[in-house]
Amino acid sequence: MRDALPNDVVIVAASAAGLATAEALRNKGYDGALTLVGDELHLPYDRPPLSKQILSGAWEPERVRLRDQEAIGKLYANFRLGRAAVGLDLPERRVLLDGGDPLGFDALVIATGVTARRLPDDDLAGVHVLRTLDDALGLRAHLLGGPKVVVVGAGFLGAEVAAVARTMGLEVTLVDPLPVPMQRQVGDRIGELVGQMHRDHGVELRLGLGVTRFEESAGRVVAVELADGTKLDADAVVVAVGSTPATNWLTGSGLPLGNGVECDANCRAAPGIYAAGDVASWHNPHFDRRMRIEHRLNAAEQGMAVAANLLGEDRPFAPVPYFWSDQYDASIQAYGIFPEGAEVTVLHGSLDDRKFVAAYGHEGKVVGVLGWNSHRELRKLRQLVVDRAPDPGQRTAEGRQEP
């Protein structure tokens, strides 16, 4: 059954997905009440530059703002910033805010993103996570002191932070319990290349080893101990060990929560209630699987899809996800999904030249393409994912393709 068209939309929160939803609602002619609740004090800003241009100092903080005051004003929205949603009363259709003051709605969009995962006892001075603008500015100020840096976690975020810190001339060690950097995101073969690039730039890699504890002196971190007993001296530690969907405030609300807010293919979790961005888990019909994507473009596209569905379009959200990562002079971009065990076939250029496009094949189909300093070729080869083309690696293995 379709939802009635709303007249009072509340969006929690005010970042990439929330803003995209609000703008798309207005662009599509929605002229009812619109409220955005956000627990940060900043107007919507962009997160990808935090681990790149903001951390390196290439950009002033103002540049991450997603819209200027004028554009924000044209939304005719009520921004409730510095306020956290702490509960959802589904039967009464109210969001509960910290400090009281319930907020009624007839449609709700949940866009609360993720929070950084932490390690036990990591609440020491000198230990950082990187999720917000304030985190980035705090970390940069610390790095400017020229410390020895240990980055825990060699996923995208840890790898980017290691690259910036190394480029600032700091002594950097990158630690991960997995044997290969970015293994979960790009697999072994390309992950090995990421590792080699960091070694070439002078980062020390300690892979296949978890952190057992932090050593402190007067409440400040001084060393990181690894599972093999090694101690790494550290003036600054960055914990980049992944994230958790920000759904605590929805516990007990009756909404389906698992790995995020669980939605159908239209990003709808319950009548009149939708989720968008990093927090949303939905069934993507293009890949016929449930997914939750922590990428910037997805947040915007999913926000737009949610707005369309709120206004009655009944549109399944079936994107080919896209991400990018910048490390040193490597611009890595990718379309699709990169399941564990996917077959990697180089379609253009070569790994040795660090300029290539590789296809990821899974269950006989191309499900992802990844480009390394090869934007133009990658854009062309994206179509293989759209078409779910046969996996070129499998054809080679079965001897059906010319060598």
Ligand X SMILES: Cc1cc2nc3c(=O)[nH]c(=O)nc-3n(C[C@H](O)[C@H](O)[C@H](O)COP(=O)(O)OP(=O)(O)OC[C@H]3O[C@@H](n4cnc5c(N)ncnc54)[C@H](O)[C@@H]3O)c2cc1C
Among positions 122-151, residues that touch ligand X (CB under 6 A) are 130-131
Nearest distance from C-beta of residue 170 to ligand X, angstroms? 18
Q: Quick one: tokens of 324?
A: 């990018």
328 interacts with ligand X by CB under 6 A: no
Question: What's the angle, vertex CA 111, arms to CA 110 and CA 115, rounded to 5?
Answer: 120
17 interacts with ligand X by CB under 6 A: yes
Q: How many residues form the binding site for ligand X (CB under 6 A)?
A: 34
Among positions 361-400, residues that touch ligand X (CB under 6 A) are none
Nearest distance from C-beta of residue 202 to ligand X, angstroms? 23
296 interacts with ligand X by CB under 6 A: yes
Strand partners, 211: 226
Among positions 42-71, residues that touch ligand X (CB under 6 A) are 47-48, 50-51
249 interacts with ligand X by CB under 6 A: yes
84 interacts with ligand X by CB under 6 A: yes
- Select from 206-214, 295-303, 361-369, 386-394 the region that touches ligand X (CB under 6 A): 295-303
40 interacts with ligand X by CB under 6 A: yes
Nearest distance from C-beta of residue 187 to ligand X, angstroms? 18
Q: Could you say which of 23, 122, 262, 278 contacts ligand X (CB under 6 A)?
A: 278
d(Cα 328, Cα 379) in Å, to the nearest integer? 22
Task: Give the sign of the dihedral formed by CA 21, CA 27, CA 29, CA 33.
Answer: positive
DSSP state of 125: B
265 interacts with ligand X by CB under 6 A: no
d(Cα 332, Cα 63) in Å, to the nearest integer? 22
Contacts 24+ apart (CB under 8 A), 157-162: 157/51, 157/130, 157/240, 158/238, 158/240, 158/241, 159/194, 159/198, 159/325, 159/327, 160/51, 160/52, 160/325, 160/326, 160/327, 161/51, 161/55, 161/130, 161/238, 161/240, 162/198, 162/203, 162/327
85 interacts with ligand X by CB under 6 A: yes
Provide the CA 371 distance to its chain's centre, in angstroms.
19
Q: Quick one: tokens of 400?
A: 């059906």
Please classify residue 378 by burial: count the beta carbons closer than 10 Å to its beta carbon, then call 0-12 exposed, 13-18 middle and 19+ buried.
Answer: buried
SS3 52: coil
C-beta closer to ligand X: residue 44 or 195: 44
Q: Could you say which of 291, 324, 351, 392 contacts ligand X (CB under 6 A)?
A: 324
113 interacts with ligand X by CB under 6 A: yes
- Select from 36-44, 193-201, 264-272, 361-369 the region that touches ligand X (CB under 6 A): 36-44
111 interacts with ligand X by CB under 6 A: yes
Strand partners, 108: 10, 273
Residue nearest to ligand X (CB): 277
Which residues of the shown chain bind ligand X in the complex (CB under 6 A)? 12-13, 15-18, 37-40, 47-48, 50-51, 84-85, 111-114, 130-131, 157, 246, 249, 277-278, 294-296, 299, 323-325
